[in-house]
Every structure is written in C-alpha cells, then in structure tokens.
C-alpha cells in the first residue's frame, strides 16, 4: 500500500458496479445509515417502467434523499481520494454510490456506474439539468417536468437500465499501477469482475469477507476504511509506520 506510484486508481465503496442485491441496498439506504429509505419496494420505486407510469414514489424518495445528502459530509476516505487526485497520484474513482459525495469532496474524475444526482435529463427531448435545478424543481412540483412537457429523470441508473461506464472503468483498472478496492465485499457482478482487469497490484481494504480469491500481487486488509486510510495518509506524509498488509 505504501507503493503508491505515479498513478493510482481508486475503486471505491462497493467497488464499481453491482447487481440487483447491491443496487437494492445502495438505492434503499445509500452508503450512509443516515440516508432515507424509499417508501415503497426499491424494485418498483427504481423501476424505469414504473417511473414512467407514476414518478411520484421515486420523487418522494428523491426529496428525502436530496435533503439528506445536503446534510452529509464526505468521509475521510472521500477526502483522501480527492487529495491523491489533486497530487496527481490517483487517476479515477469508480463508484456505485449515487450520493455524489466524491464530487462534493473534490474528486473530479468519478465514474459512477449507477449514475448519480449530479445531472438529470428530460425523457422526451434529452435536455440536461444540473443538481441545483433538481434541488429546486423537486420541491416546486410533485414530479419535475421539462419546458417541452417531458418528465425529468435524474441520471441515476434504475432497474431495467444498463449500468454506466463499465468499459471506461475496466480500461482505467487495466492501466493502473495500483488498484484500491475500498469498502467492497466484491460479492456481486459486475462489480466483482473489475479487479480481474488489473495488471498491477490490487489492495482490497474491507471489513469482513471479500469475494476475490487470493493471487499474486493481491493484498487484503480487514480493517475499518477511514481508520486504515488515516494511517496510510500519515505514512504518505512521511510519519508513522506502514500499516500491515496481509
């Protein structure tokens, strides 16, 4: 882990993408226990055909969610990854979280495979809207509509929609000297397949079991993410001793 080289890719909490089980947890709760739950079953609230028929359950969730993410601050791990990017040591973050906390922490190159609320678009004409617009529009009408009359949908990937940026994510992983997999059990595809593209070292930092077999140049750390990365940050600053790898 101390071998942070020229370029470093971070694949963050929950690795990269996920299947239905991961999505359910992700959308239902977000990564933070403080985030709201959807009022209805995620399978219908976040289903694209249900949304087109009746967007209100999703927008009820969205109003709660937008209020909550405004109150939540990025964690140490979010800020650490943003700092590494500013220093030119991190090339990209791949995440399946939809909370935009990486962007809030200052990360610039974020591949959000499940999309996020950073942008929204009209389902009719494709016009783009930013997060600030959504924050207003979601509270001005039960479901925001475009001037053309079309329904607006945040660029969050719903059930029934393809995940985003997987090829781009795989290319970043393949080009990385070091892949960090942070806070992910790597149990669910397509998230789980990304480390197989790695050509450099892979360091997995996660509390609990991880669905990635041991292999050459693979290192596993069973630790609480923020605490462990704080130790790593101290080492990078030239103090402290290297935290253990297994």
Q: Does 93 bind Zn ion (CB under 5 A)?
A: no
- Region of 44-52, 63-71, 148-156, 182-190 interacting with Zn ion (CB under 5 A): 148-156
Kind and range of the H or E element at 234?
helix 225-236
Q: Which one of 110, 146, 187, 188 is in contact with Zn ion (CB under 5 A)?
A: 146
CA 116 to chain CA centroid, Å, is 8
- Per CB under 5 A, 125 contacts Zn ion: yes
Q: Collect all residues with Cβ–Cβ distance below 8 Å to 143 and sequence separation of at least 6.
A: 55, 56, 59, 151, 152
Residue 150 contacts Zn ion per CB under 5 A: yes
Q: Is 122 in the site for Zn ion (CB under 5 A)?
A: yes
- Token couple for 39: 């009022």
Query: Binding to Zn ion by residue 124, rule CB under 5 A?
Result: yes
Sheet holding 152-156, edge to edge: 128-130, 115-122, 152-156
- Distance in Å, CB of 145 to Zn ion, minimum: 8
**β pairing state of 92-95 and 218-221:** unpaired
Q: Is there binding between residue 127 and Zn ion (CB under 5 A)? A: yes
Smallest gap from residue 121 Cβ to Zn ion (A): 8
Alpha-helical (H) ranges within 4-120 are 20-29, 42-45, 48-53, 56-71, 76-86, 101-105
Q: Is 78 a catalytic residue?
A: no
Token readout for 121 is: 């678009």
Q: How far is the CB of 59 from Zn ion (least distance, A)?
A: 17
Q: Which CB, 39 or 148, lies closer to Zn ion? A: 148
Least distance to Zn ion from the beta carbon of 148, Å? 3
48 or 233, CB closer to Zn ion? 48
Contact between 17 and Zn ion per CB under 5 A: no
92 binds Zn ion (CB under 5 A): no
Residue 110 φ/ψ region, left for φ over 0, alpha for ψ in the -120 to 50 degree band, beta for the rest? beta
Residues forming the active site: 114
> Can you give the binding site for Zn ion, defined by CB under 5 A?
122, 124-125, 127, 146, 148, 150
């Amino acid at each position: 882990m101390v071998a942070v080289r020229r370029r470093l890719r971070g694949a963050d909490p929950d690795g990269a993408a996920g299947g239905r089980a991961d999505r359910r947890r992700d959308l239902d709760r977000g990564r933070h226990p403080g985030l709201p739950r959807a009022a209805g079953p995620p399978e219908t609230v976040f289903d694209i055909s249900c949304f087109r028929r009746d967007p209100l359950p999703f927008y009820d969730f969205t109003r709660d969610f937008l209020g909550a993410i405004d109150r939540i601050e990025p964690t140490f791990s979010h800020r650490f990854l943003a700092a590494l990017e500013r220093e030119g040591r991190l090339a990209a973050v791949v995440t399946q979280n939809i909370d935009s906390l990486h962007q809030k922490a200052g990360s610039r190159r974020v591949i959000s495979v499940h999309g996020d609320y950073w942008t929204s678009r009209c389902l009719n004409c494709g016009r783009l809207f930013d997060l600030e617009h959504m924050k207003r529009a979601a509270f001005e009408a039960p479901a925001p509509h475009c001037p053309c009359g079309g329904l607006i949908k945040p660029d969050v990937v719903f059930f029934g929609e393809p995940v985003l940026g997987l090829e781009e994510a795989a290319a970043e992983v393949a080009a990385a000297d070091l892949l960090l997999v942070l806070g992910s059990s790597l149990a669910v595809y397509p998230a789980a397949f990304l480390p197989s593209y790695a050509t450099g070292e892979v360091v997995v930092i996660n509390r609990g079991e991880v669905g990635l077999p041991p292999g050459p140049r693979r290192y596993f750390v069973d630790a609480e993410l923020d605490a462990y990365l704080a130790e790593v940050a101290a080492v990078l600053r030239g103090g402290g001793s290297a935290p253990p790898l297994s």
